[in-house]
Amino acid sequence: MHRTHTCGELTINDLTKEVTLSGWVAKSRDLGGMTFIDLRDRYGITQLVFNMEDNEQLCSEARKLGREFVIKVTGTVIERSSKNLKMPTGEIEIKVSKLEILNAAKTVPFMIEDETDGGDDLRMKYRYLDLRRSVVRKNMELRHKVAHETRNFLSSHKFIEVETPVLIKSTPEGARDFVVPSRMNPGEFYALPQSPQTFKQLLMVSGFDRYFQIVKCFRDEDLRADRQPEFTQIDCEMSFVEQEDILNMFEGLFKHLFKSVKGIDIPSVPRMTYADAMKYYGSDKPDIRFEMKFVELNDIVKGKDFKVFDDAELVVGICAKGCASYTRKQMDELTDFVKRPQIGATGLVYCRYNEDGTIKSSVDKFYNEEELQKWVNAFEAEKGDIILILAGNANKTRKALNELRLEMGNRMGLRDKNTFAPLWVLDFPLLEFDEESGRWHAMHHPFTSPKPEDIALLETNPGAVRANAYDMVLNGTEIGGGSIRIHNKELQALMFKHLGFSKEDAQKQFGFLMDAFEFGAPPHGGIAFGFDRLCSLFAGLDTIRDVIAFPKNNSGRDVMIDSPSTIAQDQLDELKIATKN
């Protein structure tokens, strides 16, 4: 046996035992007559001790060991004279009697420690070394536990885990597909699934009733901290359900995961309509760890010859508690923040409600203190608060104020990663109009059912139609979304018509689903959770890359294996693919 115990297992209760351990040399300390080595494996660290007086040759061999050498030792468990109670094994050490080098190691490119000196690029290139670090390993262990508890919960509620195909057909809706050439069908291509949407609906037609899958999905889109070209979903579907059934079931899953993985009891998840989310937070995924709701000011501020407000479609602001003491420099920073191109505001108006009761604004030229008092009243501001106001196009202004609200939340310490505030957002619009293409697009996907009472509006006012759709939001991040699906051919055909599909296009792309609906499709609905996002939030991380064993960088490259890469010309010829130089 290469080991009788792991490096995180032995305690004071194991004194005098003869044991064999194997692992990596994490640290070595030479103190003259004695050499101490920290031996590491997945389970922890155990200190080894070599004594020149006991065995000079063995101690000399130990001194030659480099970091990350793989070794096997046999020895006796003894009590440490200098204990480290922060470690599970910190009360004991192994007095080594036998040492075997299983594999030597080159000098590593960065320190294999919690606080490493390796940058992101270097750690990604040597990801197999980065995974030896305990902080990274713990992320993988957390991911495993979330998956394990998800399967436990859903299995206990009669869900069946079914694998769906990875090679499917390309569809034009949504993000770009990754495509795969077919050698046996020259000139034709598979696509990698952006989600198993149509397959899980077909499983409902098949009578499977309750399906789930922890599944890989693929989207060829621009990357950022919470996006990877391949990602994982907890994908679920249920038959004979209404929206309330879905919300209750998956709120239950959410609470179970928090309790079993984090030890946190989550109360009932509040609900908010999409319309209110946009009105009060400027976002369909509001961070409700803190208040700072939007207050609209059109009725109060217009007609005072301040052109910025008079010409604006919307004047709206937030109240930042206790921030009236912000300096001119801090206000200039906030102004520069909202004027950044990715935010797009033209400027920032502010109003201080000072501790002495006076009210001062950046537009005192146009508004006297009596008029500014109306602003204070509208926000229910208190002495010491500051009001921050943006104006302009309604949609753009709400989005910009959302960014400012989040920035203020960060500056005021209101976005604690250890505080969790979930939210259901309901009643999304079914359709959104795309100016570039000049047609309506599905806000979620083409199979989302409209609210029954809104179906008639499809012909007269498509933008007012609400979807039977819902998102789960956690701390300002969308972690899941779904809908009640269309389950009859006529309504699905009507939906395709309003999305600009011809009958031929709809039949070509989704005929298999439309045909299936004619054989008795039950009412059904489902949801998919972003598994990577959920794990990263549980771990308190800013990026999903840190909960993925072998992630890709922001260019979609795996720098460890150097992928994507070119392929040989004979492979291209076999696939009937020509590339341009």
The reply to whether 444 sits in an annotated binding site is: yes
Q: How far apart, in Å, are the Cα atoms of 65 and each of 37, 54, 116, 402? A: 9, 19, 21, 56
Cis ω before 341 (30° cut-off from 0): no
How far is residue 203's CA from residue 201's CA, in Å, rounded to a whole number?
5
67 assigned binding-site residue: no
Residue 356 is labelled as binding a ligand: no
130 known member of a binding site: no
Say whether 531 counts as a known binding-site residue: yes
Task: Flag whether 220 is marked binding.
Answer: yes
Helix (DSSP H) and strand (DSSP E) numbers for the chain: 17, 22
Instruction: Name 518's Cβ contacts closer than 8 Å, sequence gap at least 6.
Output: 489
> Partners of 316 in the beta sheet?
296, 390
Number of Cβ atoms within 10 Å of the Cβ of 1: 6
**Tokens encoding 200:** 């899980």
Half-sphere exposure in the Cβ direction for 523 (13 Å, CA): 10
Instruction: Confirm whether residue 228 is marked as ligand binding.
Output: yes
For residue 220, the 8-state DSSP code is B
Q: Residue 532 annotated as binding?
A: yes
Please check if 256 is assigned to a binding site.
no
**Per the annotation, does 296 bind a ligand?**
no
The SS3 of residue 93 is: strand
Residue 106 contacts by C-beta under 8 Å, 6 or more apart in sequence? none
DSSP label at residue 261? I
93 labelled ligand-binding:
no
Q: What is the distance of C-alpha 50 from the center of its chain?
A: 47
- Backbone φ/ψ region at 329: left (φ over 0), alpha (ψ -120 to 50), beta: alpha
Is residue 530 marked as binding? Answer: yes
CB 398 within 8 A of CB 278: yes
DSSP 388-451: EEEEESHHHHHHHHHHHHHHHHHHTT---TT---EEEEE--BSEEEETTTTEEEESS-TTBPBP
Backbone φ, ψ for residue 63 (5° rounding)? -65, -20
Q: Point out the annotated binding site for L-aspartate.
A: 173, 219, 444, 485
Q: List the binding residues for ATP.
A: 219-221, 228, 478, 530-533
Q: Binding site residues, as ranges?
A: 173, 219-221, 228, 444, 478, 485, 530-533
